[in-house]
């Protein structure tokens, strides 16, 4: 018991790790020297094997020497800060049981030459050298914690194809897709102790620099798709700075400034392994972790690992939301589990989509798409007063005399009065209805709108008094796109066909609708034209 206590000491801080459902876990300081040191007899055995290989296969000797040139001045064990960092990423199972219950890593289940040959066979622009640190991380993934690796592989099967498509669009080596594995264990709501958030672990300033929205309701660092686009832009900028993907990797982890300092201290050398001793401790093991993660997702079958299925909807459709919407309004109306909405939309911190600010994406499982379309108006109107009480209009009979600004904003419409309202920037249909003391549904009907309609600055809306209001008759032939402000999506439409039809630019079309090339075009959806 004393030995166990001496080996495991609780640190002063805790961490929260979410694998979709929150689990409260605690980082611990481990005796990493005992954990990651390789037994002497294993080292001797490997040395003997290398000697045999060098005698029987001269080419193999050349390969081994070339790959192992990086072992100079590199410790075989991982330092304490690296170990704590790795623990923070995912070293516990979902029950919170500590997995470190053995004193040493098991010996590698195959000779170094096999790892070297496999790494050399991987199609990678980025150099994937082999050394003791890389081997230790491979053993960690493949042998030490197979249960954790199986979960990681299951998540990888779900997310990595999405990452590959975006990285490929930016001409970034596809090997970079494993970065979220070592950054966050593919946890979209992971938060580090310094506030880095999401799968790609962006700090606030860097996330905003690359176009991610972060406010009270939304944190797009937690959006797997939006954050991957930001990461692609960031990696492109880092490569343009260092012209070396390995240095770009190091800079992604510790920042451009620290890599530039390491280069200066190394006498201007611009090779990761040459500047290795001058990098922060955490970053020294970042590239070995990157190599081991690429090995793991490529050769897990050879180690008899089976990916664990993930509890996330495989197919989803995307809707653009233009008004405030609460997840419970959706869940209560079409009986979709709110947990699925949270898994598919982790960027909404309070279960609220602030679509009145600008259009935001909502992803729902494909099996609920038809129900959402058919009940769209009902969803927006469900308990609207309960979830959103803007308190914009003050009753003039009860408002304090000093509150003139609030009273002046109220514009009651009565009798036969008819008003044309010109939409201002920042206004929503709910705000306009409140301003004139009219029902939101009446405003929809008078202007042939729906709850999902997009309004834009300068658009004119008709507001009627009671006696002047037109009779509400259905007019299914009214086409909002006749003024070329909108396009109603038809079956078979694509972004390309729309741009050709209206002679508009694709980037402008996507930007004005807050969409990406991967957004789905559903028949009946209205697309705002530039």
Q: Which residues are catalytic?
A: 183
Helices (H) and strands (E) in the chain, counts: 26, 12
| Residue 140 DSSP class | I
Stated length of the chain: 530
**Token representation of residue 520:** 């789905």
**Token representation of residue 226:** 């939006």
Q: Kind and range of the H or E element at 45?
A: helix 40-56
**Token representation of residue 307:** 């990916």
255 Cβ partners below 8 Å, 6+ apart?
Answer: none
Q: Which ranges in 351-491 belong to alpha helices (H)?
A: 369-374, 376-381, 384-387, 404-408, 429-435, 440-446
**Token representation of residue 28:** 């611990």
Contact 220, 245 (CB under 8 A): no
Angle at 94 between CA 90 and CA 95, to 5 degrees: 125
Phi, psi of 475 (to 5 degrees): -140, 80
Bridging pattern class, strands 21-25 and 15-19 = antiparallel
142 Cβ partners below 8 Å, 6+ apart?
Answer: 109, 149, 296, 300, 303, 305
Residue corresponding to tokens 């991380």? 137
User: Cα torsion at 476, 481, 483, 486 (round to 10°)?
Assistant: 150
Q: Which ranges in 170-244 belong to alpha helices (H)?
A: 179-184, 204-209, 224-242
Reading phi first (left if > 0) and then psi (alpha if -120 to 50, else beta), residue 322 is in: alpha
Please name every residue paired with 238 in a beta bridge, in sequence order, or none if there are none.
none
**Token representation of residue 34:** 């005992």
Nearest to 233 by CA among 249, 211, 250: 211
3-class state of residue 294 by DSSP:
helix
Q: DSSP characters for 431-471?
A: HHHHHTT--HHHHHHHTT--TT----TT-EEEEE-TTTPPP
b/e for 78-97, b at 16 or more Cβ within 10 A? bbeebbbbbbbbbbbbeeee
**Token representation of residue 246:** 């390995």
HSE (side-chain half, CA atoms, 13 Å) at 130: 21
Dihedral angle sign, alpha carbons of residues 25, 31, 33, 34: negative
């Amino acid at each position: 018991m004393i030995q166990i206590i001496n080996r495991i000491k609780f640190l002063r801080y805790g961490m929260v790790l979410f694998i979709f459902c929150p689990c409260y876990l605690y980082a611990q300081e481990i005796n990493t020297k005992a954990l990651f040191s390789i037994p002497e007899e294993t080292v001797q055995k490997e040395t003997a094997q290398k000697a045999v290989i060098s005698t029987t296969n001269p080419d193999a000797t050349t390969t081994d020497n070339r790959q192992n040139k990086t072992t100079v001045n590199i410790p075989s064990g991982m330092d304490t800060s690296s170990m704590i960092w790795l623990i923070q990423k995912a070293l516990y199972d979902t029950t919170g049981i500590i997995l470190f219950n053995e004193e040493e890593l098991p010996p590698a289940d195959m000779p170094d030459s096999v790892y070297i040959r496999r790494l050399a066979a991987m199609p990678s622009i980025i150099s994937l050298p082999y050394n003791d640190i890389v081997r230790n991380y491979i053993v960690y993934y493949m042998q030490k914690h197979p249960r954790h690796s199986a979960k990681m592989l299951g998540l990888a099967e779900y997310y990595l194809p999405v990452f590959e498509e975006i990285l490929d669009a930016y001409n970034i080596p596809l090997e970079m897709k494993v970065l979220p594995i070592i950054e966050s264990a593919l946890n979209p709501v992971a938060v580090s102790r310094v506030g880095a958030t999401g799968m790609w672990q962006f700090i606030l300033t860097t996330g905003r620099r690359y176009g991610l929205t972060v406010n009270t309701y939304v944190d797009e660092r937690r959006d797997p798709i939006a954050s991957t686009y930001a990461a692609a832009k960031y990696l492109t900028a880092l490569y343009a700075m260092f012209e070396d993907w390995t240095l770009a990797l190091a800079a992604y982890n510790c920042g451009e400034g620290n890599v530039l300092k390491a280069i200066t201290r190394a006498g201007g050398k611009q090779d990761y392994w040459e500047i290795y001793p001058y990098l922060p401790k955490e970053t020294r093991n970042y590239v070995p972790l990157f190599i081991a993660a690429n090995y793991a997702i490529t050769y897990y079958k050879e180690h008899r690992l089976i990916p664990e299925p993930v509890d996330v909807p495989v197919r989803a459709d995307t809707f653009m939301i233009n008004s405030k919407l609460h997840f419970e309004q959706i869940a209560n109306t079409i009986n979709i589990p709110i947990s699925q909405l949270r898994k598919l939309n982790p960027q909404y911190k309070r279960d609220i989509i602030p679509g009145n600010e600008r259009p935001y994406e909502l992803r729902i499982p494909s099996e609920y798409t038809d129900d959402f379309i058919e009940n769209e108006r009902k969803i927006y109107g469900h308990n609207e007063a309960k979830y959103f009480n803007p308190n914009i209009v003050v009753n003039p009979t009860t408002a304090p005399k000093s509150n003139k600004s609030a009273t002046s904003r109220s514009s009651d419409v009565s009798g036969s009065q008819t008003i044309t309202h010109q939409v201002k920037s920042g206004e929503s249909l709910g705000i306009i209805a409140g301003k004139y003391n009219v029902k939101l549904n009446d405003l929809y009907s008078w202007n042939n709108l729906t709850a999902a309609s997009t309004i834009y600055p300068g658009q004119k809306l008709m507001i009627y008094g009671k006696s002047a209001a037109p009779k509400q008759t259905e007019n299914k032939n009214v086409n909002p796109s006749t003024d070329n402000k909108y396009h109603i999506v038809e079956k078979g439409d694509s972004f390309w066909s729309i741009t050709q039809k209206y002679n508009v630019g694709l980037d402008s079309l996507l930007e004005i609708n807050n969409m990406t090339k991967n957004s789905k075009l559903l028949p009946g959806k209205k697309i705002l034209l530039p």
